[in-house]
Chains A and B, each alone.
Chain A
Amino acid sequence: MGFIECSRNRSGTPGFAVVWCPDFKLQAVVRRVQTKPEPVALVDDTKRQSVILSRNEAAIRQGVEVGMKTVQGLARCPGLRVESPSAPAEEAAARTLLETSFGWVPGIEETGEGWLTLDLSTQSPGEWVDSAQRLRGRLYEAGAEVVIGIGETPSLARIAALAARAEGKSFRHLDPGCRMEHLDQLSLGLAETAEELQERLRLWGVNSLGAFARLSREAIAARMGDEGVELWLRLTGRLQRPLRLAKLDELFEEHQDFDYEVREREPLLFVVNRFLDQLIVRVGATGRAAVAVHVLLTFSDGSCRAKRLPLPEPVLDHEILFHLISGYLDGLEMKAAIGGIRIRFEPSDPVASQRTLFGAGLKNRYQFEDTMKRLRKIVGSERVGTPRSLSTHRPGVFELQPLPDSLEECEERKGPPVTGATVRRFRGGLRVDVQMREGRPFRIESRPVSGLVVDLAGPWYCGGDWWHAGRDWNRVEWDVEIRARGVFRLVREKEQWNLEGRYE
């Protein structure tokens, strides 16, 4: 098949492409069937007598026709290879067609079996032809032979694809600038209208789509009704329709139902490994990466477990993804044997981020996320984070935030200098008995810390949250130096004395 460009693109024109995989059912079963030298036919075995549904070029040359009984076909062509339709193969072929086309533009409609309509408005018209050529090449490598038509509306793009097929080409562009000249060359049959309408037009001497499009709308409406008007609108580019866009995030999925009960993780990881190989290639072909992985496990007792495993940033690294899934499976408690596994990639555009030249941050975000996950498992999620003071004067109150991705250069410290020693808290406080003399702590008594107060500073009164019912707090603080023991923070709150911490 040749590859022709009919005309120069006009910049800024909205456009649509139709990717058509002719004889889709046959192509789903046999890769690159049209260019195969051996004759191949797809037959329908469901009826009492097997009939031929479609065939390739080699079979046509030997007289095999659609609708013919299979035995007749074999009589005409003894070397005919006979295949039956396969629903899983068709599903896989449709998925390949769609996924590969996502490498061109994001807006794609699955118009029919083997038909895709692509919205090219996101791409410059100057790149359409090259992109179409690349897509066709990629699909050919994947085993599908397609023709591509481009036009200013989905209908015209479809006509372009049909015309290309009829002419034995792989591509046709109905450029709006010379649309009529192109339509003049195309027969009425390409418009996919009823035979009756076509016959009537032929009788009136209208033999091409261009001749029909030149007629006035009123004259067509008066003589041919709605069907004629609809065709006229299609050919003149006035019939627009929105595309029902395919959802990318439901596409990248692999699943396997086991014929046997899987109780060990090893065979499961083997399957996961294989799925990852396939999904990485498929997602990568669309220029995207995985931002999360969904794992669905079904168990032999009828239960199932689904989990979304998010990634810190979009990635397509096999090792990282395998580590993510195997880590989840390792921590999974399997009460019953596994009956099936389903893995789906949530695709996203890869992050185009670059650190500043002198910036410093996490060297390996995936490893960090993994470490965090493991640490949370050991100590609990409420005990891991970067401490941040809250907007309160109450000591010991802070919140935990996630560690920042990057650390900016530390500016020269502003404000008053940092004074004093640090406090090491006795978590929950150390309850003590305090002897007072002249209104000041004189002796501290408790099991771990006891002694005479040789020096002190205070008292400092503080309180807050009185505006929240039941959450108000009031405390009196002293810094006390206990002989031979050090300096402590002594606090009186709700008539109770506590050693809150030790200065060190």
Chain B
Amino acid sequence: MNGTGTDKVAALAAIREQLGSRITSGSELLQVQETREVRAATGLAGLNEQLGGGLPKGQFTEILSGDHGGGGLVMAALLARARRERQYVMLLDVGCCFSPESFPEADLEGLLWVGCSGAGEAVEALDVASRDENFSLFFVDLRGSSSSDWRGVRANQWQRILGQLRQRESVAILFANEAVTSASKHRIRVGLALQCDDLDRDREQLLARLRFEPARGSEVDSSRTVAMRQVG
């Protein structure tokens, strides 16, 4: 760095010192925003525990189910809670796999179903829908698409949607078989060992049996890893 550059840095530091706490950088602002994060309780104790109290508003949360099942029950529980709270929910369903007869009719009253033919289409639709203040909860069901399909989505598109979610404090849940985007704040794996006999049980009992654990790459997972390293 030449002399002029050093002078500029020094001058900037002097201005910062003079202004004191009145000036903040963009990253500082983001940190502040993240520390005062608002969460929406899910009604599922196990999931709330993993998420630190509920779904973080203005964030992506990934629910990974794969062959373990349980994703549909999580969706049913969140849908029922949103209906009780009279919130509108949008489901972006890749592959049109949604089965309305599995859900109580009343829970579907506030649901807007959007059938998408691919992950790219679903993300494009989410990009449009996340600007709408009428919806506070978005489900994006990517389990009907292959990983190569949604890997084609550009990172900046995820970031733009994230910005829109933050602005409106809405929640987007990505249901997938494996990790989708680094823009997600939490990544939770859900599991349920389902048997034929379970199909006659109360849904409440099945919900109580859902297992949640942080998936690789999740913020919870990272913090635990850090904690383990420190202990080690």
Interface residues, chain A, with chain B CB atoms under 8 Å away:
360, 362-364, 367-368, 370-371, 374-375, 378-379, 383-389, 395-396, 398, 400, 403-404, 407-411, 413, 417-427, 455-457, 479-481, 485-487, 501-504
Q: How many A-B residue pairs have CB under 8 A?
A: 179
Q: Please, could you name 5 A-B residue pairs with CB atoms under 8 Å apart, sorted by A?
A: A386-B111, A403-B88, A403-B112, A419-B202, A503-B72
> Would A407 and B109 count as touching, CB distance under 8 A?
yes
Q: How large is the interface on B (under 10, 10 to 19, 20 to 34, 35 or more residues)?
A: 35 or more
Residue of B nearest to A376 (CB): B114
Instruction: Indicate with 1 or 0, residue by residue over B183-210, a CB within 8 angstroms of chain A CB atoms.
Output: 0000000001011111111111010000
> Would B198 and A421 count as touching, CB distance under 8 A?
yes
> Would A407 and B83 count as touching, CB distance under 8 A?
yes
- Identify which of A398, A400, A425, A485 contacts B67 (C-beta below 8 A): A485
> Would A378 and B128 count as touching, CB distance under 8 A?
yes
B214 at the interface (CB under 8 A from A): no
> Would A407 and B110 count as touching, CB distance under 8 A?
yes
**Chain B residues near A427 (CB-CB < 8 A):** 95-97, 144
Residue of B nearest to A416 (CB): B202
> Would B109 and A404 count as touching, CB distance under 8 A?
yes
CA A384 – CA B197 in complex, angstroms?
A: 35
B86 at the interface (CB under 8 A from A): yes
B41 at the interface (CB under 8 A from A): no
B124 at the interface (CB under 8 A from A): yes
CA A375 – CA B106 in complex, angstroms?
A: 24
Q: How far apart are B148's CB and chain A's nearest CB, in angstroms? A: 16
Interface residues, chain B, with chain A CB atoms under 8 Å away:
65, 67, 69-73, 75-76, 83-84, 86-88, 95-106, 108-117, 121, 124-125, 128-129, 131-134, 143-144, 192, 194-204, 206
CA A362 – CA B86 in complex, angstroms?
A: 10
CA A379 – CA B121 in complex, angstroms?
A: 7
Q: How far apart are A313's CB and chain B's nearest CB, in angstroms? A: 14
CA A501 – CA B71 in complex, angstroms?
A: 14
Other than the given A421-B192, A480-B196, 8 more pairs (CB < 8 A) read A362-B88, A367-B133, A371-B129, A379-B121, A407-B87, A418-B202, A420-B203, A455-B197
**Chain B residues near A487 (CB-CB < 8 A):** 69, 194-196, 198-199
CA A427 – CA B118 in complex, angstroms?
A: 13
- Identify which of A374, A408, A425 contacts B99 (C-beta below 8 A): A425
Among A378, A422, A427, A502, chain B packs the most CB atoms within 10 A around the CB of A422
- Identify which of B71, B104, B200, B202 contacts A504 (C-beta below 8 A): B71
Q: How far apart are A71's CB and chain B's nearest CB, in angstroms? A: 69
> Would B112 and A378 count as touching, CB distance under 8 A?
no
